[in-house]
Each structure stands twice: as C-alpha cells, then as structure tokens.
Structure 1
Amino acid sequence: MTIRVLVVDDSALMRRALTALLASDPEIEVVGTASDGRAAIEQVAALRPDVITMDVRMPIMDGAQTTEHIMAYYPTPILVLTASLSRFDVDITFKMLGLGALDVMEKPPGGDPAGLERARLDLIRRVKMLSRVRVVTHLRGRRRSVADLNTAAGQRNAPVGGPRHRRGSRPLGTGSLRRGHGSAPLRPPEPLRRSHGARLLTPAAPPAPRTALGGARHVVVIGASTGGPRVVQQILRELPPSFPAAVLVVQHIADGFTAGMVDWLDACCALPVALASAGDLALPGHVYVAPDNLHLLIDREGVLGLSPHPALLQRPSVDVTMERAAEAYGARVIGVLLTGMGRDGAIGLGAIRRAGGYTIAQDGDSCVVFGMPRAAIEVGAACEVLRPEAIAGRLQMLLRDAIARERP
C-alpha cells in the first residue's frame, strides 16, 4: 500500500528536494506540501496523510504550535526535519517531540552527492517506519482555544479549529557531573505524585549508599528508541533530588541531537542531567546520557567509560550498557526498557535479571513502537511490565527496599 506523505517546510527549494527524494521510492507518494503551520493544518484536515515531515522554523505557526494542534485534532506520525543544530532550533525540536512528534533528523545536505544519498535512504527508512506507527490523540493541545490559534495565525482569514468530519483517531500503538563553573543551582522539584500506591522517597531520605570511590552504589539503566524522549522525560521528571541511584540513559536518536536532548531534559527535571564523559564518577541522583556513537560503560566503583567498539547495529547500544552494569553491579542494578523498534535491550535486560537485578519493560498499549520491550518480554527478561506513569514510583519503592535490606 502506498504511503501518503505531507511535506511541510517554509522553503520552496526544500519542499521540492524532499518531494523528489521521497518520490524516488515507489511505495511513497507526496500528496501535498505546505509552507507554514497554518497551511499544514489545513492540508492535514483535507488530505489525512499517513506521515508528515515537519519543519521547525516556519512563519505564522512554528513546528511546535503546528505539532500540538495536529496531534490534538488529526493525530498523525510526524517526522521533525531541522536544518540547524542551534540551541534555538533544537529546543523547538524537543518541544515538538514532547508534544507528540515521533522522530527527528537533519534535513538533507546540499552539494554532497554521497551525503544526499545517505540522507535519502535514511529519510525513506524513517518515513516507512513511522507509517506503521499507530498514534494517539494528545488532548493537551485542545486546551488551547481556537481564538489563541487564530491569533497565532492572524495573517490568514480562515479560522482554525477541529475537523468538521474527523476520522476516529488511531489507537495508541502497540567523572563528576560536568555542569561548568558558576552553573545555576538546581531547580526545586515539582510536587511528588504517588503512582500506583508506591511510597516515594522524599528529599529528607537518608544519604544514598556509595561505592568506595564515592560513586552511586545502585544504578538504573534506561534504554529507549522511537518515541523514547517523551517517555524518558516523563519518568525523570517524577524522580526527586534525593533519588539514591545513578541513572544511565541510552536513547537511540539521530546523530547530533543527543546534546540537545540532554539540555531539554536538564531544564525540566529535578535531577541534573549531563552527557556522559569517560572518567566521570556516576553519582546518586544524577543522570548520565550516552553520547552519539559511543557505548556507555560503568565499572564496579561507578566510574563511567565510553567505547566505539563493538560497532553493533546500534551505537550506543542498550544491550552493551545493561550488560556492563549487570557485570559491575549485579543485584544493585534496575533495568528499564522503553518504546522502540528492534530488539536492542532484550539481551541486556536478561543479563540484569540473571545477575539478580530487577527489570521493567514498558507495556505495549503505551508504546509508540512495541518492538524492544516486546522482545524482552518474549524471552522472559522482564520482571514486570508497567505503563510509564507507574515506573518512577516503582523505581523509588524498589530502591527504598533494597537499601533497607543492606543497612544493618
């Protein structure tokens, strides 16, 4: 079946280029284009495409405003395309992911035939993958009034609102922290919420146990791919500053976007979030994210390492980080495997469980892509299957009980 794509970009040249690249695959048809967010909403309402490629900076309505409205009224898989990795563009990009966009990549380069061909293949691969994703309506976008949207889109006359004859939305698919000198103090945490009755740790909790070198004695490893940034954010935002474990995050994302994701997470979480560096000491209550194209390792004292080998299908690899953590920390590791395509993490989650640690997989109904968690569940690597909103509370309860058992 032909995949119907809407191309949204304020550059006529880029619209033509993207249309040509996508049309080079016989399974893809570009059914329309739009030069701004307001026009994109109108085209989505009229054409109901299978996938949207969405620019970040646009006149009238930017990518974030447009994504919010589309996911509220016409839920459709959105691939974010950005020409810049500037702080401003990356901030909007991750805001779009938080609002329901599913994936991100740089726009195809000009003047480099080899780079253009790689970009063509990557673009087609991502569009085909997203066309198979079933998305859900994001009701948060409906809290914005029609008047607000029309104000943002005031250069046009036609009102923006929900569709008159909207199809039913598709169901939800199956070293030390290097923060720089003089950095701002940590933001106060948001009020803690209870999740499924789990008792949460509070900032008044006893000091977290440490290794001989002062690193965290307990480690949580979180692995994710497609749809992961928003779920990772949801979990980390629920963890208080007194969280007694170090958190290692391995997120599959296009090259060049990891640093922006770290800034995005750090800005909205009570725990400090940093890009992992070789030689860092993994501290309790800190989050370390694997850099682009490097595996994240940890030893028995909590010292982090980075490695380009082996060059597996995915680098960074969730399996590699989880296996190293299991080897170094044994029963003091908790593994969490979230939404994503493929099988990365199933072997690592199994290694943690065999070492005596605890493992959690995201449930299928809440996953954008149920590939990675399902693979782990099928091989018996998951001790428990949970929705994202239950995971933070469960982590705190597991760590509280484990630390209590260790104390004399």
Structure 2
Amino acid sequence: KPDVITMDVIMPKMDGLEATRIIMETTPTPIVIVSASWDPKEVEKTFRAMEAGALAVIRKPVGVTHPNYTRLAQELIQTVKLMSEVKVVRRRPRITYRSHIPAVSPVAAPSMPMDVKAVAIGASTGGPPAIQAILSGLPKDFPAPLLIVQHIAAGFVQGFAEWLANSSGLPVMVAANGENPLPGRAYIAPDDLQMGVDNG
C-alpha cells in the first residue's frame, strides 16, 4: 500500500474524482490532486474529489525550462511529504438510490448576537469540504458576511469560490480591495493574500 497518491482529475477511462471515491471507500490512502487545468468543469471536479476524501490540491509543475519550475516542484514535494503523514479514514460507499433516504427536517439556524459584524473562517488541509459543509448549513438570510481564508495552491481560488457557491446555495466570491462585505455573502481571500477589514 502506498503512503500517498498523487492524482490528476483528467485521466483516461476513469477520472480523478471517481478514482478518489473508490480508493477512499475501499483502501483509504492520502491523496493529493495535482492539476494543470483551469477549465471550470475540471476545477469543480477537483473540489468534488476533495469532498470525496482527497486532502490537498496543488498546481502541476510547468516544464523544466520555465522560471517557476523549481518553486512549483518544491511545493509539490513538500505537499506530498506532508500529506503522506496524514491519517485518513474509510469513506462510506455512496448510496445509489436516493429515494430510499428518509427525509430529514432542516435544523433551524441559531440566532446571532446583534453586535456580530462578521464571521471569519480560516482553514488549511481538509478545509474546502469543511467550509462547504458550514456554508451549506447556513440560511440564505444569514445576518453577517463570512470572510474566508483558505490555504490553497495559487490559481484555484476562483474555482473554489464557484464550487462553494454552486454547492452551498450562498453567494460566494473572491474578495476585492475596498469592497463592502454584505450580510449573507461569503468572501474568499485572493491568491497569496490575507484579508483585513476596517471601519472606513
């Protein structure tokens, strides 16, 4: 059994999403998604693979003659080494016939103190599916903006925002400098940047 698996989402016969699901349901192993595709459909598959149990996503190193090759290769090596030490658990097999799932009444969201101006969320490894679960459980009229900082490979933030918006039902966007955060919306810090809020 390998200590860690690196996987692209674009593969012949079986894509990385389906392969991740099968591995995590049968032989749980740390998986790192390594991708060079910015196509929206492929980026969405990348985050669905993380939802299925993959631990991290990282950009595939460019050719050896590219000026960023050394940096990207080092990031890949470091990520693979770190993820190889993470303990993963078996995922339950997917239920094919959803009509057999009993209906569950939605849980009412707890009330928030009136003086809460914003909710901040910070995450690293394993963060995307956890954040997705949090946002999916919030009401559409959540009374405060959500400010999210997720440690993720450069180039995937926009796809992360779109995946969260599509899967949670809340408006999710990459934050812009000078933007006024609005209640019921989630804002993600841009690539390689932190996020700050002032009273101006």
Q: 1:64, 1:97 → 2: CA distance?
A: 8
Assess if the C-alpha contact under 8 Å between 1:247 and 1:286 holds in 2: yes
Give yes or no for the alignment of 1:58 onto 2:16. no
- 2:2 counterpart (49, 52, 61): 49
CA distance in 2, matches of 1:57, 1:249: 28
The CA RMSD over aligned residues, in Å, is: 2.3
* Cα distance in 1, alignment partners of residues 65 and 47 from structure 2: 27
Distance 2:6 2:96 in 1: 23
* Counterpart selection for 2:161 from 258, 262, 285: 262
Q: Which has the larger radius of gyration?
A: 1
Q: Which amino acid aligns with 1:106?
A: R
Matches for 1:331-346 after TM superposition, within 5 Å: none
Out of 20, 27, 39, the position equivalent to 1:67 is 20
Match of 2:91 in 1: 138
The gaps in structure 2 that reach 5 residues or longer are 98-103
TM norm structure 2: 0.89
The CA deviation at 1:201 is: 5.1
The 3 A distance-change label for structure 1 pair 58 and 109 is same
Are 1:200 and 2:153 counterparts? no
Q: Could you tell me how far apart the structure 1 residues matched to 2:15 and 2:183 are?
A: 38
Is the alpha carbon distance of 1:60 and 1:242 closer, same or farther for their aligned partners in structure 2, counting shifts above 3 Å? same
Report how far residue 129 of structure 1 moved: 0.2
Higher RCO (Cα < 8 Å, 6 or more apart): 2
Counterpart amino acid of 1:138? R
2:100 matched residue in structure 1: none
Corresponding residue number in structure 1 for 2:186: 287
3-state SS of 1:296 partner = coil
Q: Following TM superposition, by how much is the alpha carbon of 1:91 offset from its aligned partner in structure 2, in angstroms?
A: 1.2
Q: Of Structure 1 and Structure 2, which has the larger fraction of its residues in helix?
A: 1
Opposite residue 156 of structure 2, the aligned amino acid is F
Does residue 298 (structure 1) correspond to residue 197 (structure 2)? The answer is yes
Report the counterpart of residue 101 of structure 2 in structure 1: none
2:42 corresponds to which residue?
89
**In structure 1, distance between residues paired with 2:105 and 2:78:** 40
Query: What does 1:314-393 correspond to in 2, within 5 Å?
Result: none
TM-score by length of structure 1 reads: 0.45
State the partner residue of 2:177: 278
Number of residue pairs the alignment of both structures matches: 194
Query: Partners of 1:266 and 1:111 in 2: how far apart?
Result: 36
Provide the rounded CA distance (Å) in 1 between the counterparts of 2:44 and 2:109: 31
* Residues 91-240 of structure 1: pairs in structure 2 closer than 5 A: 91-112=44-65, 114-141=67-94, 143=95, 193-194=106-107, 200=109, 218-240=117-139
Partner of 1:317: none
Q: Name the aligned partner's letter for residue 197 of structure 2.
A: I
What percent of counterpart residues are identical? 43
Asked if structure 2 preserves the Cα contact closer than 8 Å seen for 1:220 and 1:245, the reply is yes
CA contact (8 A) 1:192 1:240 kept: no
